[in-house]
Amino acid sequence: MKPRGLLTLAMAAQVVVTAVALVASYAVASGFGIAQLVALLASAAVAVLLARLCARSIELSQDKGIAMQLAEQAQTRADSAQMTQAVIKTALDAFVQTDETGIVLEWSLQAEALTGWSRQEAIGADVVDLLIAEPLRAGFRQRMMRLLPELSDTPIGIRFEASLRHRNGDEILIEASSAVLRLGSRTMINNFVKDVTQKRAAEEQLIQSQKMDAIGQLTGGIAHEFNNMLTVITGTIEILADAVKDDPPLATITKLISEAADRGAALTSSLLSFARKQALLPAEIDVNELLEELAKLLLATFDKKIEIVTKLDGKIWLAFADRGQLSSALLNLAINARDAMSDGGKLTLTTRNVVFGVREAVAVGAGYAGDYVEIEIADNGTGMPQAIVERIFDPFFSTKEVGKGTGLGLSMVFGFVKQSGGGIKVSSAEGRGTTFMIYLPKAESSTLRPTGYDQRKVVGGTETILCVEDDRDVRQYVTVQLKSLGYKVLPAANATEALAIAAEGTPFDLLFTDIVMAGGINGRELAEQMVAARPSLRVLFTSGYAYDSPHAQSRATAGAPLLTKPYRKAELARMLRRSLDTAVDSVGDPIPTPYSVQAEAEGFLRKQSSDDSAATRSRK
């Protein structure tokens, strides 16, 4: 019962008791005497008793109310703590709570995963000692001290980025949101920390790629046209040189033209390379063998003050890349290293196998998570400040004197590695040196290995070649060259013409086609259509410009060789023989005898069957 009800009841009871006592005593004594006095006293005693009873019960009920209130408050507090713990536990970001001096009070599971330090190790430790590299600690503490008053004034907290150190020494880039919490005299700083290393690396790679793409669009088209012109010059100049070889002044001029054309070809090739439009011919490469060759070359040409060391993994996988381009990329890196060690130093060439998860692959800008062959080129030269490291892959960025460096070296390396589906990473410390790491995809299957042709000897042939080239001048030039090598030529200005020739049943042994052609069908599609109809057909591609990546090729023409423009007669001759004489396809299966023979055999079979049916008919 409520206290107010009790009181009313008690007072009513007292009135009743007093009235009854008075009436009774009056009736007994018929007047006011001792009996009434006794009755009044009894009523007073009852009233006091009731009042005390009421007071006691009020006290009791009040105590109970307070106890219940306290229990409710405790429950609310427990619920709220539980909810906070659940929020911390399920948050994707790591939670770190410190006091105002940086001593860790709370450390979530995600914080363990992010930093490598367990909760047990972290609690009670100084957060700066735990997560900041030694040389940066003092600066970081100063920054924290400056942030603290700002944090106290802002109830919603502050967001900032910082570079932390994982327990294993790796650098982690984080984004933190911090807020101050005051509980009585205690001050706590709550931090939610997010790992943005991967995101930043991906963004940087994307910006770099977009920049390269934009320049690629511009240069790629120009270089394509330029290459066609150069093909005519470099090809025909040999004929001229031959004609004027007995006239020294004219012979000198032809030599000058030839050299200028070669320089033009080299520049076009650099432009295409950084634009990732280089016509690449990837194949399996033993990178150890390549690095041993490079080391020999460097030993012979570099100053003796530079020591050259190789650390090659004996169990290195085969890489899948263009051998020629890889050689020049490595040479570029070695030359840069030499330039950074003008007073001498050590150049170390290392190879190792690496398996990348998504995080590592993204960090180096590699195409996908998986197996890669790593080539490391390390020098202990001047090194670079961060501001320069950020720009080294930019085309035409050079710190070298005018005339000493074009600034295209590293952009070419970058373009080549990315076009090959690989990645590149650089680490540099001023005064201590620079390390470049190149990651190339591991070769998946055995691909055609070039057979050992003598590079210098020009060998022709008598086979028939269907030559598809949309540029009139180049087509004329190639036709002349092919004829001079002894081949029969069927020229076609585009894929439609070529398909018409094939449809007529004209026999030919090899399809020699440009990849990039005006009109609907490009060289690759043409080759695919023809190979589908004639699996024995040999194909040789030519291009000054690669639109598609090697990975995008279909299996039918995947192993077909590619002759990059501009080319000389000797290269054309060598590639033709290589294609015509190869007896196995890209996966090592034997290819049937060339098409013209096959066509003759088919013709023979057709004749046979028509003779047979004629005979059958005549027998009827």
Residue 404 or 619: the one with the smaller Cβ distance to Mg ion is: 404
> Using CA atoms, how far apart are residues 41 and 22, in angstroms rounded to an integer?
11
Contact segment (CB under 5 A) with Mg ion among 36-44, 406-414, 433-441, 539-547 equals 406-414
Residue 178 or 336: the one with the smaller Cβ distance to ligand ATP is: 336
Contact partner, 382, from ligand ATP, Mg ion, none, Cβ < 5-8 Å per class:
ligand ATP
Contact segment (CB under 5 A) with Mg ion among 208-216, 405-413, 568-576, 602-610 equals 405-413
Taking the complex as a whole, the smallest distance from the CB of residue 593 to ligand ATP amounts, in Å, to 48
Contact segment (CB under 5 A) with Mg ion among 92-100, 253-261, 333-341, 569-577 equals 333-341
> Using CA atoms, how far apart are residues 550 and 469, in angstroms rounded to an integer?
21
Residue 104 or 384: the one with the smaller Cβ distance to ligand ATP is: 384
Whether the CA torsion 413, 414, 416, 420 is positive or negative: it is positive
Residue 379 or 509: the one with the smaller Cβ distance to ligand ATP is: 379
Taking the complex as a whole, the smallest distance from the CB of residue 159 to ligand ATP amounts, in Å, to 34
Looking at 42-101, which runs of residues are DSSP E strands? 94-99
Q: Considering only CA atoms, which of 554, 529, 539 is closest in space to residue 595?
A: 539
Residue 232 or 389: the one with the smaller Cβ distance to ligand ATP is: 389
Taking the complex as a whole, the smallest distance from the CB of residue 405 to Mg ion amounts, in Å, to 6
Identify the helix (H) or strand (E) that includes residue 320.
strand 319-322
**Phi, psi values for residue 521, rounded to 5°:** -100, 130
Taking the complex as a whole, the smallest distance from the CB of residue 364 to ligand ATP amounts, in Å, to 17
Contact segment (CB under 5 A) with Mg ion among 112-120, 387-395, 401-409, 521-529 equals 401-409
Residue 235 or 381: the one with the smaller Cβ distance to ligand ATP is: 381
Q: Is there a contact between 410 and 351 (Cβ–Cβ < 8 Å)?
A: no
Alpha helix (H) ranges present in 539-587? 569-581
Q: Does 282 bind Mg ion (CB under 5 A)?
A: no
CA 257 to centroid of chain Cα atoms: 43
Three-class secondary structure of residue 314 per DSSP: coil
Taking the complex as a whole, the smallest distance from the CB of residue 385 to Mg ion amounts, in Å, to 18
> Using CA atoms, how far apart are residues 14 and 220, in angstroms rounded to an integer?
111
Contact partner, 399, from Mg ion, ligand ATP, none, Cβ < 5-8 Å per class:
ligand ATP
Q: Which DSSP state fits 169?
A: S
Residue 332 or 419: the one with the smaller Cβ distance to ligand ATP is: 332
Residue 332 or 586: the one with the smaller Cβ distance to ligand ATP is: 332
Taking residue 503's Cβ as centre, other Cβ atoms within 10 Å add up to 9
Contact partner, 296, from ligand ATP, Mg ion, none, Cβ < 5-8 Å per class:
none
Taking the complex as a whole, the smallest distance from the CB of residue 381 to ligand ATP amounts, in Å, to 5
Tokens describing residue 581: 């004489």
How many helices and strands, by DSSP H and E, does the chain display? Answer: 18, 17
Alpha helix (H) ranges present in 126-283? 127-131, 137-153, 197-243, 248-274
Candidates 43, 336, 494, 542: give the one binding Mg ion (CB under 5 A): 336
Total residues contacting Mg ion by CB under 5 A comes to: 2
Taking residue 76's Cβ as centre, other Cβ atoms within 10 Å add up to 10
Three-class secondary structure of residue 191 per DSSP: strand
> Using CA atoms, how far apart are residues 263 and 272, in angstroms rounded to an integer?
14
Residue nearest ligand ATP, Cβ-based: 409
Residues in touch with ligand ATP (CB under 6 A)? 332, 336-337, 340, 379, 381-382, 384, 388, 392, 397-400, 405-411, 434
Which phi-psi region, left, alpha or beta, contains residue 550 (left: φ > 0; alpha: ψ -120 to 50)?
alpha
Tokens describing residue 127: 């957060």
Residue 191 or 411: the one with the smaller Cβ distance to ligand ATP is: 411
Contact segment (CB under 5 A) with Mg ion among 181-189, 382-390, 404-412, 422-430 equals 404-412
Q: Is there a contact between 300 and 342 (Cβ–Cβ < 8 Å)?
A: no
Taking the complex as a whole, the smallest distance from the CB of residue 340 to ligand ATP amounts, in Å, to 3
Q: Is there a contact between 513 and 488 (Cβ–Cβ < 8 Å)?
A: no
Residue 428 or 553: the one with the smaller Cβ distance to ligand ATP is: 428
Q: Does 409 bind Mg ion (CB under 5 A)?
A: yes
Q: Catalog residues that contact Mg ion under the rule CB under 5 A.
A: 336, 409
